[in-house]
Structure 1
Amino acid sequence: MTLDLVGPVRTLLDEGVDHPSIDGMPGGGFVLAWIESRQIYVTIFDAYGGEVNQFPLGQAGTNPSVVVLSDGSIVTAWVDYDGIKAMRVNSDGQTLSDAAFLQSDNASSESNYFPNLLALADGGFAATYRGTGRDGSRGSVHLQIFDVNLTSRGADQLVNQTTEGHQNSGRTVALDDGGIAVAFSSRNVDGSVSAAMMRIFDADGTPRTDQIRLNQYSSGQQHQIAIVALNNDLILATWTSDGQDGSDDGIYARLFDTQGRAQGNEFRVNFETLGDQNGSDLIALADGSAVVSWLSGGTDGELRARHIDAQGVPSGAEIIIGADERIFYYPQIVQTQGNGAVVVWPDFTDRSVGTTEAQFLAFKPIATAENDMLFGTAQDDDFGGGAGNDVLQGYSDNDRLFGDTGADTITGGNGADTLIGGDGDDFIFGGGDGADLRDVVYGGNGNDQIDGGYGNDELRGQSGDDTISGGFGADTILGGSGNDILAGSAYADRLFGNEGDDFLNGGFGSDRLRGQDGADRFFHAGVTGHGTDWIADFSHAEGDRLVFGLSADASNFQIRLAHTPGVGSASVEEAFVVHTPSRQIIWVLVDGADEAAIQLQSGGQAFDLLG
């Protein structure tokens, strides 16, 4: 996989912004919670960075953390004078749950800071935070689970088991089995200043494991831990390690399973070792790999990112996200659509006004000879599957996806896509929703299944016995060679059987059908919504027949002959096939008056409408 920058660095928020927090939105967008003059705001962006909505929460505080729940609602937590509060709103800013304490302070001895929120699959969320004066140390890490209405499902859990010195930076990730992994830093564990730690809990908050040390190198400090669940039942953790890479700070990582067992040794993520590399964040991709971003070169440095494959091996070169004498702060990265992401960071180049900057990334998949899962982005993608039975997924914008050999599954998503099956029995889906544009699909060799989805598509089966459905839109469907099954589905479609004995079903709407070579069958459901289908080349001599979807016999039909200007031969009339019980014209056979017989099949019987 290769990492590419998409466009220039962009300013998302240009006001006196502080402490932005980010999470992904349904559909590939993202949300930022941020502070200006202690007032908390929420801004929603689409997958391209366009602002969708912005609103104040009407609350004051510091250190916000934002999360999008499974129902699409947004929970923002922040530090108040008396503890940690949260509020739940919808994407329009309408309050769904009033501001409430997640954890209140004990004024005499206890305080709580730095909330970090995590959405759970059951609709609720988990919160971690740092406490002081709560476990006898200078700082502790706590986990608590809440339902969608901000109601606690029980008391908070002390995450750290070491209670000397102080513990910090609770980061969480949800596991596929319902568990929750919490990463944090802890002093007085391994003889260093601090160690990178993790503890795993079950879905109800019960500890599954003891605390686990992530790092093997134990000099200086290992801190600033980030964590993500990969799509292969593994956990990838990254952290900043002091002096390990031969210079100052470096970014290191290690894989673990969901029981906390290490899957190999720690490894260095950064290739560049000059100066500090710190403040990492990471996301998981659909193929089991991950992308890590971090701050390189200290306060006046640059941001970098690198791909980590599913086996925990850094692959490809680092990419530099920004190096134009800006003053960066620690980045956050979130996935947008497919293999797209956005890196967001506070920028203090103008020290009087903090801004929030963003760089969009695209991760171009690289095919192998194996069965690959390859995903596009919100941009225009162009990639192929190679050998193997591959899964190719586009998203919005105009993609070109090529399955090549093997039995591939290809989905275009929204946009005007070109989808090519290549050799093998492929499944190709134009996909998308009502915003989808016109897709062009080539099945290639093999017995393919093609569904245009939304949009006015052009679908070509090419060779093989193909099954093609137009979906929603006025589609053009060409079967190619082979015995094909063609269905227009909704709206007025054009169907061409080409070579072979084909089955043509115009679907709902008045369609244009042309069987061409072979003994073709033309289907009508017999209901009004199916419309009147025009058949351009019905030929009894080639073995063509009509197929009626309801029970009927010859007495239920009448043939009427009439000339239609501009259609067929000027000297030959069209044959209008009328279903007399419903008085509906079912088919019009262009130049049908020349036919010696018109065979119609209904149920298990066939008969000649001309007697």
Structure 2
Amino acid sequence: MRQTIVICAVVLGAPSWLGAEEFQINGRTSGAQANAAVAADADGRIAVIWSSYFSSSGRSNDILVRRIDTTGRSFDADEVQVNTVWKGNQTEPAAATNGTGMLLAAWHGPGLDAEGIFARLFHQLGAAMTDEFPVNATIEGQQLYPSVAGGEAGTFVVVWESRQADAIGKISTIRGQLFDGHATPLGSEICIDAQTHDARYPSVAMDAAGGFVVTWLQAQTMNAVMARRFDANGVPLGEPFQVNEIAFGSITQPAVAMSPSGDFVIVWDGDPNRAGDDDIHGRRFDPNGMPRTGQFTVNSLCEGTQQYPRVAIDDVNAFVVVWQHDHGDPNLATDVWARRFDAAGSPVGEQFQLNSYVTGKQQSPDVAIAAGEFLVTVWQSDGQDGSGYGVFARIEPWTIADPDPVETPHVE
């Protein structure tokens, strides 16, 4: 019988380079500013995108973006509205940059049938290059949970969950669409998951040549984390494969990051042995999709529930995972934590807390590496901006020494 060994440690202190505090991104504070995502390019330009809540004049949410540099200085006087259609609920924002610094933002909003995926392209200097446009060709049912990736080759890919109803209930598949650097569709819509009918919560990442990998939750039939690789033309490189080696009672949204050379890391949360107290798990793969490690545990602190991980990877395959930590006590805050790993997959120190504001809930983190030198983390914070949820960011140096060439993964 396979057993999971989780090595727990008391976090005694933060790494010596850790010293930055979070700062507020949103200028608009009326209503909730939530569901933040971050993208960064090789020149250090950073874009933070989020959903801003409204409750009047038929407006429910807007999608806003703010561009900053690696010092936190804003390029714009205020945040910029991404969506050009105001009616209905605009949510679930995602964004990525390509090799020329262009930014593609995507989100979920009211569609031609029920709900669709929309996108808008921005120049590296901030000007909108398009109006918002529909991404999905499939218009029946709901199109949800977009994820975006861009590569050095200049292309983008958007993936999402497509949910329709049939005679036995709702079915969910993962769809995708490639775009060139001008947001022109390349080919037709792609079926990502080979029509398994219960695929949810996709995440996508792209390498320098435009090849990409998609991961998702296979919800009902397997309750497994799945993935599939594609070439730069959107042609599948094999069938979907299972990522997790150990069965889980519950899994939420997995996430993936891919280096320019094609190595990739997939992370997820689950609770195989800890009675509902989820841990963060991960697994590394080479550019051919072959496992470099077995499944490993990311978090070193076991108390409470660890959920909603996100991951970023650099040019030499060192990576960082961020996640949300719930102490399990309604009187305690929910915090945002991180842990760094070298290119061999070995932890670089223990996990560390990112938020210094510890009142209320700090939730839904996202992470990027800017210019190969700066770690950028964003999250939503309850009450810190004086009015419900606000969006906060933290920027600090990203430096990891070259690892020993012998791989020493933290294996379960």
TM-score, scaled to structure 1? 0.44
Aligned to 2:85: 162
The 3-state SS of whatever aligns with 2:188 is coil
Aligned to 2:285: 361
Q: Aligned AA for 2:148?
A: I
Aligned to 1:94: 18
CA distance in 1 between partners of 2:259 and 2:24 (Å): 31
Q: CA deviation at 1:178?
A: 1.9
Q: Does structure 2 conserve the Cα–Cα contact (< 8 Å) formed by 1:9 and 1:358?
A: no
CA distance in 2 between partners of 1:325 and 1:335 (Å): 25
CA distance in 2 between partners of 1:226 and 1:337 (Å): 18
2:62 corresponds to which of 132, 137, 140? 140
CA distance in 2 between partners of 1:140 and 1:13 (Å): 43
Per-residue deviation, residues 281-340 of structure 1 (Å, max 9, x unmatched): 111124421111000124971110001111111220111123624311110112368432
CA distance in 1 between partners of 2:7 and 2:283 (Å): 13
Aligned to 2:171: 248
Aligned to 2:394: none
CA distance in 2 between partners of 1:300 and 1:10 (Å): 19
Q: Aligned AA for 2:193?
A: N
Percent identity among equivalent residues? 18
1:285 corresponds to which of 195, 200, 207? 207
Q: Does structure 2 conserve the Cα–Cα contact (< 8 Å) formed by 1:238 and 1:251?
A: yes
Q: Does structure 2 conserve the Cα–Cα contact (< 8 Å) formed by 1:251 and 1:277?
A: yes
Asked if 1:152 is matched to 2:152, the reply is: no
Matches within 5 A, 1:574-589: none
Q: Aligned AA for 2:119?
A: M
The 3-state SS of whatever aligns with 2:226 is strand
2:44 corresponds to which of 117, 123, 141? 123
Aligned to 1:314: 236
In structure 1, the gaps of 5 or more residues are 1-7, 16-40, 42-52, 57-90, 366-375, 380-394, 397-412, 415-431, 438-611
Q: Aligned AA for 2:218?
A: S
2:100 corresponds to which of 164, 177, 183? 177
Compared CA separation, residues 11 and 268, structure 1 to 2 (3 A): farther
2:158 corresponds to which of 237, 247, 253? 237
In structure 2, the gaps of 5 or more residues are 294-315, 318-342, 345-400, 407-412
CA distance in 1 between partners of 2:79 and 2:5 (Å): 38
Aligned to 2:186: 263
Q: Does structure 2 conserve the Cα–Cα contact (< 8 Å) formed by 1:255 and 1:263?
A: yes
CA distance in 2 between partners of 1:129 and 1:54 (Å): 33
CA distance in 2 between partners of 1:298 and 1:436 (Å): 40
Aligned to 2:255: 332
Per-residue deviation, residues 396-432 of structure 1 (Å, max 9, x unmatched): 9xxxxxxxxxxxxxxxx99xxxxxxxxxxxxxxxxx9
CA distance in 1 between partners of 2:201 and 2:48 (Å): 21
Q: CA deviation at 1:126?
A: 1.0
When Rg is computed on C-alpha atoms for both structures, the one with the higher figure is 1
Aligned to 1:103: 26
Q: Does structure 2 conserve the Cα–Cα contact (< 8 Å) formed by 1:13 and 1:355?
A: no
CA distance in 2 between partners of 1:324 and 1:301 (Å): 8
Matches within 5 A, 1:163-562: 163-187=86-110, 189-192=111-114, 194-243=115-164, 248-274=171-197, 276-298=198-220, 301-322=223-244, 324-335=247-258, 338-349=261-272, 350-364=274-288
Q: CA deviation at 1:148?
A: 1.6
TM-score, scaled to structure 2? 0.63
Q: CA deviation at 1:94?
A: 2.5
The 3-state SS of whatever aligns with 2:243 is strand
CA distance in 2 between partners of 1:99 and 1:320 (Å): 37
Aligned positions, number: 297
Q: Aligned AA for 2:162?
A: S
CA distance in 2 between partners of 1:258 and 1:94 (Å): 36
CA distance in 2 between partners of 1:310 and 1:337 (Å): 13
Aligned to 1:551: none
CA distance in 2 between partners of 1:55 and 1:280 (Å): 35
Aligned to 1:597: none
Q: Aligned AA for 1:226?
A: S
Q: Does structure 1 conserve the Cα–Cα contact (< 8 Å) formed by 2:99 and 2:153?
A: no
CA distance in 2 between partners of 1:287 and 1:264 (Å): 17
Compared CA separation, residues 178 and 105, structure 1 to 2 (3 A): closer
Compared CA separation, residues 144 and 252, structure 1 to 2 (3 A): same
Q: Aligned AA for 1:343?
A: I
Task: Out of 319-328 and 168-177, give the one that drifted further.
Answer: 319-328
Q: CA deviation at 1:160?
A: 0.8
Q: CA deviation at 1:433?
A: 7.4
CA distance in 2 between partners of 1:254 and 1:313 (Å): 12
Q: CA deviation at 1:134?
A: 8.4
CA distance in 1 between partners of 2:36 and 2:81 (Å): 14
Q: Does structure 2 conserve the Cα–Cα contact (< 8 Å) formed by 1:294 and 1:303?
A: yes
CA distance in 1 between partners of 2:182 and 2:3 (Å): 40
Q: Does structure 2 conserve the Cα–Cα contact (< 8 Å) formed by 1:227 and 1:236?
A: yes
Per-residue deviation, residues 441-498 of structure 1 (Å, max 9, x unmatched): xxxxxxxxxxxxxxxxxxxxxxxxxxxxxxxxxxxxxxxxxxxxxxxxxxxxxxxxxx
Q: Does structure 2 conserve the Cα–Cα contact (< 8 Å) formed by 1:278 and 1:295?
A: yes
Compared CA separation, residues 287 and 260, structure 1 to 2 (3 A): closer
**RMSD of equivalent CA atoms:** 3.6
Q: Aligned AA for 2:118?
A: M
